[in-house]
Amino acid sequence: MPQWPQVFIVFVVFCGGCFLESSVAHGAVDLSASDTKTVKRLPQAIIIGVKKGGTRALLEYLRLHPNISAPGPEVHFFDRYHDRGLNWYRGSKCVDEVSGRFLAVCGEQTAAKNRRPKSNAADDDGEQMTIEKTPCYFVKREVPARIHRMSSAIKLIVVVRDPSTRAISDYTQSFSKGRTKRSFDEMLFHDGKEKINERWSAVRIGMYAKHLSKWLPYFPLEQIHFVNGEELINNPVNEMQAVERFLGLPSFISDDHFNFNATKGFPCVKRRHTDTDFRCLGATKGRTHPSLSARTLQLLNQFYARHNKLFYEMTGRDFGWPEKL
């Protein structure tokens, strides 16, 4: 377990979700804006991927934790808005860009403090860790260097899932959003032949080893935590406890927070102990996938086999793909 770097936060003001902090020493962070008593907080951890791996579920589960503060929307600073600078990154996310409204996470500070676990009072100095999630970061070449320039000590989280299932999930999303009218097989194979189109983004994103190799020159493996996307569905408490340990958070997330909803086919969560209902993620999460031929699945699994092997070697972990459905 890596040591948590020197991040000292004296107090947090107003907007937990929009990266506020004061008196900060933060690894390689540009501190030019921190010469006053209160400055805005940069994230200490980022969920960098992967798209359709279960990143929304992970973020929502993490937001159960009283020591976590995170904006709901994806931030896209390091890919789309990097030229706006770190001050934009620190401060802009209190306001939803589309609606112009304040985001729900802003001002949650007091409520969060009240929910803080009492059993961990010794290590809990009342501070929150700020995180964000933007799943496309994992596959964007320019992002590792940019994040490293902000903080060489930041913690990175990647939810990985059987890349064949991930590709089908990605396609299902594109189809349901009307981005394609073609079938999965038409997208997957070149010219009706059985050669897989590696340039199709639904396929490319699942070559995890290739993407990871772009991060390792900047961040040691110990600074990157891989969440098993299948386990996040089947055993969310175990996966979340591993994330808590990685982030150095007091243990909080437990069985009491989850209930497997048979209709939805996924775990749903209770945000507060006083809530009576477990809330599920929305209809865009947990879509029904198209059924594919056994041949298509076989070719897809064969294609990913060498990429998966390489990924297991790089991470020192065997994720056991293809998953048994």
Range in contact with ligand A3P (rule: CB under 6 A) among 24-32, 38-46, 54-62, 84-92: 54-62
Near ligand A3P by CB under 6 A: residue from 16, 17, 53, 71: 53
Near ligand A3P by CB under 6 A: residue from 44, 55, 92, 128: 55
CA dihedral 10, 12, 18, 19 (to 10 degrees): 10
Contacts for 48 with CB less than 8 Å, ≥ 6 apart: 133, 134, 135, 137, 138, 143, 147, 156, 157, 158
Does residue 271 touch ligand A3P according to CB under 6 A?
A: no
Respond yes or no: is residue 140 known to be catalytic: no
3-state secondary structure string across 190-203: HHHCCCECCCCHHH
Residue 189 main-chain phi, psi, to 5 deg = -105, 145
Does residue 164 touch ligand A3P according to CB under 6 A?
A: no
Does residue 237 touch ligand A3P according to CB under 6 A?
A: no
- Using DSSP, state whether 49 is helix, strand or coil: strand
DSSP-derived letter for residue 170 is: H
Q: Do the annotations mark residue 248 as ligand-binding? A: no
Peptide linkage before 220 cis (omega within 30 of 0):
no
Does residue 285 touch ligand A3P according to CB under 6 A?
A: yes
Near ligand A3P by CB under 6 A: residue from 28, 33, 281, 297: 281
Choice among 37, 40, 51, 52 that is catalytic: 52
Near ligand A3P by CB under 6 A: residue from 69, 92, 169, 296: 169
Q: Can you tell me the distance from the alpha carbon of 253 to that of 226, in angstroms, rounded to the nearest whole number?
A: 18
Q: For residue 207, count CB atoms less than 10 angstroms from its CB and return exposed for 0-12, middle for 13-18, buried for 19 or more.
A: buried
Near ligand A3P by CB under 6 A: residue from 17, 43, 54, 163: 54
List binding-site positions for 3'-phosphoadenylyl sulfate.
Answer: 52-56, 161, 169, 285-289
Binding stretches for ligand A3P (CB under 6 A) = 51-57, 135, 169, 172, 232-233, 266-267, 281, 285-287
Which residues have a catalytic role annotated? Answer: 52
